[in-house]
Amino acid sequence: MQEEPSSSPSSSSKWNNTNSSKLQFFLKMRRFFLNPEKPTKSHPDANEIIMNESLECKTEEIVNPDANEKTQVTPQKAVKELLFGNWEEKENAAQVINCLASKDVHTRKTLAELGVIPPLVSMVGSDVVSRRCLASRALTQLADGTFTNKALILEAGILSKLPSEIDKIDETTKHDISQLLFSISSLSNTQFPLNPSKILPFLLASLQSKSSSQQTKEYCLGTLYNLSAVIENSGSFISNRIVDILLSTLSSSLQGKITENALATLGNLVVTLKGKKALEDNSMVPECLIDILTWDEKPKCQELSAYVLMVLAHQSSKQREKMSKAGIVHVLLEVALLGSPLAQKRALKLLQWFKDERHGTVVGPHSGPQTTRQISMGSPARETGNREGKRLMKSMVQQSLYKNMEVITRRANASGESSKLKSLVISSSSKSLPY
């Protein structure tokens, strides 16, 4: 027996609004499928305007990639088959909706209003490869450029339809689903957050799979970056060992967008306590990040790597000691001479911290890392330490400059600016460097 609505004014109003919305939806669907003639009233409502302008019984030519031939279909027929047809009709309808959604945002919103998103989300959970791929591509098109459609896809339960066993699905399915997740991951910092516990297993398995293409990994890393922008997600990231996975990705020396996304994600995690601790305890840090500083052809990677190193080195004498033993000083000198403006600025800041530490200078938390050694102002021990620090720093800088002179000159000759950089290297000294 149907439950009676509450007698309170608020619940009664809510019940009336819900049933009114349902009635409007069914009336709209009825007009859509019956395809009536133009309305006789002089002032049509907004729903009729949308229907007449966007999906008014226009015949579309859809190419069947398997048969390599064109078939004549109408939008009305595609929506009807998707909602009420058999599986074969649903697959054909998903292909048609994919083509229709690629036109413009207005068409995408209209299709979503007609209720095509829930059945497409259900098809993503199918065991048939063709259904999953067609539905994923159609949903990706529907999500393009519209916040509302992304929210509807998320509310329809797309995260519960993700395959759990990545090794048993083909690369095409991984690619299509990862592209869809990347599209809707922009909701992570809104009132429709993505649950990382549901999405991380698929992303990490796809990222570590040897059969995954580079494009698939780019989508996965892009999604991880969007999720890492939410500080509350850092706990799930650390518990799933994402720091180790990202550093392993960086060590593969793929100097491209994959590396940029991995470094950007580490940059979001390193500012959290758990993320910084995970990076400090990893055996690949700081060598992996220092190696990226030498990628002269990838300035963005240099900038991101320098940022992570700055956060690790700040107020941590242990990390600075590890970096110094790994040979970071001469790499920073090279970046300070030849890097991008932002990379140069960060390299000079790091060099200043190493210089201050050798001088035994105590600096504030906002101007540099804290040192463990504190000496009162004006004491003989402090003056002796300053002289010794200056001597060591001068010797260190000169040795590093001489060691890198040949490398810098050779690169300058290759770029056709040998005379300019030669004069810069020859005239540079520890007194002229701005750190």
Q: How many angstroms separate the CA atoms of 402 and 60, rounded?
A: 70
Please name the amino acid found at residue 61.
E
CA 192 to chain centre: 17
Nearest partner of 311 among 261, 346, 348, judged by Cα: 346
What's the confidence (pLDDT) of residue 423? Answer: 45
Residue 185, pLDDT > 70, answer yes
| pLDDT: which is higher, 264 or 10 | 264
Residue 222, pLDDT > 90, answer yes
345-367: pLDDT as tens digits: 999 999 998 887 776 554 445 44
Q: How many angstroms separate the CA atoms of 376 and 388, rounded?
A: 17
Phi then psi for 186, rounded to 5 degrees? -65, -10
Q: Binning pLDDT at 50, 70 and 90, where does residue 27 land? A: low
Mean pLDDT of the residues in the chain? 76
Q: How many angstroms separate the CA atoms of 404 and 70, rounded?
A: 64
Neighbours of 220 (CB within 10 A): 27
Helix (H, G, I), strand (E, B) or coil at 366: coil
What's the confidence (pLDDT) of residue 285? Answer: 93
Q: Where in the chain is the domain with CATH 1.25.10.10?
A: 52-161, 162-334
What's the confidence (pLDDT) of residue 94? Answer: 93
Q: Binning pLDDT at 50, 70 and 90, where does residue 313 land? A: very high
Record: fold of 162-334: Leucine-rich Repeat Variant (1.25.10)
Q: Burial code of 226-246, b = ≥16 C-beta within 10 A, e = fewer?
A: bbbebeebbebbbebebbbbb
What's the confidence (pLDDT) of residue 176? Answer: 94
What's the confidence (pLDDT) of residue 375? Answer: 35
Helix (H) or strand (E) holding 349: helix 341-359
User: Dmax of the chain from CA atoms?
Assistant: 99
Least confident of 313-327, 351-365, 389-403: 389-403
In CATH terms, is domain 52-161 a member of 3.20.20.80?
A: no
Give the range with max mean pLDDT: 2-11, 228-237, 411-420.
Answer: 228-237
Q: Are 262 and 221 in contact (CB under 8 A)?
A: yes
What's the confidence (pLDDT) of residue 40? Answer: 39
What's the confidence (pLDDT) of residue 388? Answer: 61
Using a 10 angstrom Cβ sphere, with 0-12 exposed, 13-18 middle and 19 or more buried, the burial of residue 207 is buried
Evaluate if pTM is beyond 0.85: no
What's the confidence (pLDDT) of residue 430? Answer: 37
